[in-house]
Amino acid sequence: MAHVFVYGTLKRGQPNHKVLLDGTHGCAAFQGQGRTLEPYPLVIAGEHNVPWLLNLPGRGHCVAGEIYAVDERMLRFLDEFEDCPHMYQRTSVRVAVLQAGGAPWGSPGPPAAEPTLQCFVYSAATYPPEWVGLPHHHSYDSLGSHGLRYNPRENR
């Protein structure tokens, strides 16, 4: 099983989460909440208001998302779903695990270092240069206060 970090429309409660629940694509098991250890620009761009994690480590914010353990079949499906490597590239990032399966990590007492996982993430290495100047977000919600409503694939 591989770990995948999702930060956009694949998260629970977001428009494309259903593909992670569809067993015909393979297996995806929610592991917990996380955030990237390094900052990245998370922008909302394009005519369909798609969330993009720009592959510019060290810029932007540490991005919040969800961690899933996926089997090889689901990983291949996600590559196709994310049009990898043309639209997104699957890269590896270090993610701090904030909650495992909904429960905070660690035990009561003094704070300890957060555990980390190496996860695959779908990020953009090529994009219009003006995207770098768009607002950078800490997290994504398709109905967020940013006012940029995501246009689902089935409506395009």
Q: Indicate which residues carry an active-site annotation.
A: 82
Q: How does DSSP classify residue 54?
A: B
Burial 89-104 (b: 16+ CB within 10 A, else e): bbbebebbbbebeeee
How many angstroms separate the CA atoms of 94 and 89, rounded? 16
Place of tokens 């967020």: 144
Alpha carbon 150 to its chain centroid, in Å, reads 15
How many angstroms separate the CA atoms of 45 and 94, rounded? 24
Burial (CB count within 10 angstroms: exposed 0-12, middle 13-18, buried 19+), residue 12: exposed
